[in-house]
């Protein structure tokens, strides 16, 4: 899949609208706790500034649900961006109000205007054409660099692309890198290729799992989703997380893996707890011996050893979803140990955004990974084989 390339646009001295994904996590005091997404946007912004452009930036932050809410203002993002770019970033007072439209119209070259949170506008998530048109009217060029939100058909992501022809829109460097990387991973991985899949639910990752099976050599299941498989195999899983309506699907996945010759690993022991809390009483038990009323909240040490053994000869690893409730120290060991092992390996290691990216950052092994995606949901949809709505209009059509 070849995308319209920003380097082919005749940007010199023009006005460009860049949709970024500055939806960064914040702590309870409103401080940005991880600015990876902002840092990742710098290359495209700098490229446009080097082309003597006036740059208009748009992003959402959180879920303000179509209403102006100070809590979701992009002011902290503007400050961080200013530090990273080492130049002034003007934060607009609104999104498409008259004052902001005028600010955009008057924006001189080499200047940056950051619109307020695009989801202050109710039309953004509704992919409202009138909003797309207003946003498009601000600039001569449109660049999408918001991989993390490209699986959403929203006004500033999808609708807006219809107001620009192929000579006036393109993918930014980040979006292009993400799409290329996942394309290569799925279509030409160096083998053996393993997927480590965890997280809370099978439902969220079902399609990705189904799509991955024909491509991978091994699958390692962890997290809450493991229990739906274990229950289907006849284990007593106590009060562990389970999706009873997906037991049949779990069986189908295991059958399909067998048919395809994919080695399918499930936890052989777990850290079980008497409640879902940091101060729970916990013990290590085999998958066969989870006590009644107790829940498995992490993979156990025997599983860690087994997974390390299975991952030993792997050349490519795709990891999506933690092995346990890593947010609680007591149940973070399984994820941490697997993370260190993956990070230390010589394989190509790809982390599929979201919680897994957060996890590897918390334990400081992010630099050891080959690639960390900036989009959890978007990367999952790519793995499901979908064409992302925000990318569809940027694909170079065959002659």
Whether 201 is a known active-site residue: answer yes
Binding mask 335-364 for ligand AMP (x = CB under 6 A): -------------------xx---------
Decide whether 96 or 212 has the Cβ nearer to ligand AMP.
212
Residue 296 contacts ligand AMP per CB under 6 A? yes
Decide whether 160 or 241 has the Cβ nearer to ligand AMP.
241
Residue 290 CB, nearest distance to ligand AMP (Å)?
11
Which tokens belong to 130? 């009138």
- Contact between 15 and 140 (Cβ < 8 Å): yes
- Selecting among 148, 159, 224, 354, the annotated active-site residue is 354
Residue 390 contacts ligand AMP per CB under 6 A? no
Residue 353 CB, nearest distance to ligand AMP (Å)?
10
* Residue bearing tokens 């001295």: 13
- Contact between 350 and 368 (Cβ < 8 Å): no
C-alpha to C-alpha distance for 281 and 55, rounded to whole angstroms: 55
In the bound complex, which residue of the shown chain has the CB atom lying closest to ligand AMP? 199
Residue 58: CB partners within 8 Å, gap ≥ 6? Answer: 17, 18, 19, 20, 95, 114, 115, 118, 135, 156
Stretch that binds ligand AMP, among 137-145, 154-162, 319-327, 343-351 (CB under 6 A): 319-327
Q: What is the number of alpha carbons within 13 Å of residue 18 lying toward its C-beta?
A: 32
Decide whether 5 or 286 has the Cβ nearer to ligand AMP.
286
Binding mask 175-214 for ligand AMP (x = CB under 6 A): ------------------------xxx--x----------
C-alpha to C-alpha distance for 97 and 6, rounded to whole angstroms: 28
Out of 223, 267, 300, 389, the residue judged to bind ligand AMP by CB under 6 A: 223
Residue 237 contacts ligand AMP per CB under 6 A? no
Kindly tell me the sign of the dihedral angle through the C-alpha atoms of 271, 274, 277, 282.
negative
Assign residue 185 a region: left if phi > 0, alpha if psi is -120 to 50, beta otherwise? alpha
Element (H, E) at 207: helix 206-212
* Residue bearing tokens 């562990």: 240
- Selecting among 87, 109, 180, 201, the annotated active-site residue is 201
Strand partners, 58: 19
- Selecting among 15, 37, 169, 337, the annotated active-site residue is 37
Stretch that binds ligand AMP, among 154-162, 256-264, 301-309, 316-324 (CB under 6 A): 316-324
Out of 325, 343, 351, 357, the residue judged to bind ligand AMP by CB under 6 A: 325
Residue 116 CB, nearest distance to ligand AMP (Å)?
28
- Contact between 204 and 224 (Cβ < 8 Å): no
Per-residue DSSP letters for 332-377?
-HHHHHHHHHHHHSSSEEEE-SHHHHHHHHHTT-GGGSSEE-S-HH
Which tokens belong to 364? 């400081």
Decide whether 145 or 358 has the Cβ nearer to ligand AMP.
358
Out of 20, 89, 241, 347, the residue judged to bind ligand AMP by CB under 6 A: 241
Decide whether 114 or 297 has the Cβ nearer to ligand AMP.
297
Decide whether 174 or 230 has the Cβ nearer to ligand AMP.
230
Which tokens belong to 191? 């083998």
Whether 354 is a known active-site residue: answer yes
Out of 159, 172, 324, 389, the residue judged to bind ligand AMP by CB under 6 A: 324
* Strands lying side by side in the sheet with 89-91: 89-91, 112-114, 54-58, 15-19, 141-144, 169-171
Whether 37 is a known active-site residue: answer yes
Residue 321 contacts ligand AMP per CB under 6 A? yes
Decide whether 91 or 297 has the Cβ nearer to ligand AMP.
297
Residue 327 contacts ligand AMP per CB under 6 A? yes
Distances (CA, A) of 282 to 213, 277, 330: 34, 10, 9
Q: Which residues bind ligand AMP (CB under 6 A)?
A: 199-201, 204, 223-224, 241, 296-297, 321-322, 324-325, 327, 354-355
**Residues labelled catalytic:** 37, 201, 354, 377
């Amino acid at each position: 899949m070849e995308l319209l390339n920003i380097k082919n646009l005749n940007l010199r001295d023009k006005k460009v609208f860049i949709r970024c994904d500055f939806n960064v996590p914040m702590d309870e005091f409103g401080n940005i706790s991880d600015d990876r997404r902002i840092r990742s946007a710098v290359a495209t912004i700098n490229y446009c500034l080097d082309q003597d452009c006036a740059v208009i930036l748009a992003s959402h932050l959180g879920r303000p649900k179509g209403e102006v809410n100070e809590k979701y203002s992009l002011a902290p993002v503007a400050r961080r961006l200013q530090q990273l770019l080492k130049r002034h970033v003007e934060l607009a007072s609104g999104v498409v109000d008259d004052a902001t439209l005028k600010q955009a119209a008057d924006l001189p070259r080499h200047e940056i205007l950051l619109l307020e949170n695009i989801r202050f506008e109710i039309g953004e998530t509704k992919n409202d054409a009138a909003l797309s048109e207003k946003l498009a009217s601000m600039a001569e060029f449109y660049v999408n660099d918001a991989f993390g939100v490209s699986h959403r058909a929203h006004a500033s992501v999808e609708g807006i692309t219809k107001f620009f022809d192929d000579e006036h829109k393109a993918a930014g460097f980040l979006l292009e890198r993400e799409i290329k990387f996942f394309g290569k991973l799925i279509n030409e991985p160096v083998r053996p290729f393993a997927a480590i899949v965890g997280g809370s639910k099978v439902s969220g990752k079902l399609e990705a799992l189904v799509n991955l099976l024909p491509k991978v050599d091994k699958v390692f299941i962890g997290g809450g989703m493991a229990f739906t498989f274990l229950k289907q195999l006849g284990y007593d899983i106590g009060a562990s997380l389970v999706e009873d309506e997906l037991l049949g699907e779990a069986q189908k996945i295991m059958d399909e893996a067998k048919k395809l010759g994919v080695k399918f690993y499930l936890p052989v022991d777990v850290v079980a707890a008497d409640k879902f809390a940091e101060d729970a009483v916990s013990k290590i038990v085999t998958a066969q011996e989870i006590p009644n009323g107790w829940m498995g909240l992490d993979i156990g040490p025997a599983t860690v050893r087994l997974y390390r053994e299975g991952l030993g000869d792997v050349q490519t690893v795709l990891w999506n979803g933690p092995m346990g409730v890593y947010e609680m120290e007591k149940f973070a060991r399984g994820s941490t140990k697997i993370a260190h092992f993956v990070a230390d390996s010589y394989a190509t290691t790809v982390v599929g955004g979201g919680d897994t990216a957060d996890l590897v950052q918390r334990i400081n092994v992010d630099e050891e990974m080959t690639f960390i995606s900036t989009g959890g949901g978007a990367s999952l949809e790519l793995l499901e084989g979908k064409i992302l709505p925000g990318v569809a209009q940027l694909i170079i059509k065959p002659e």
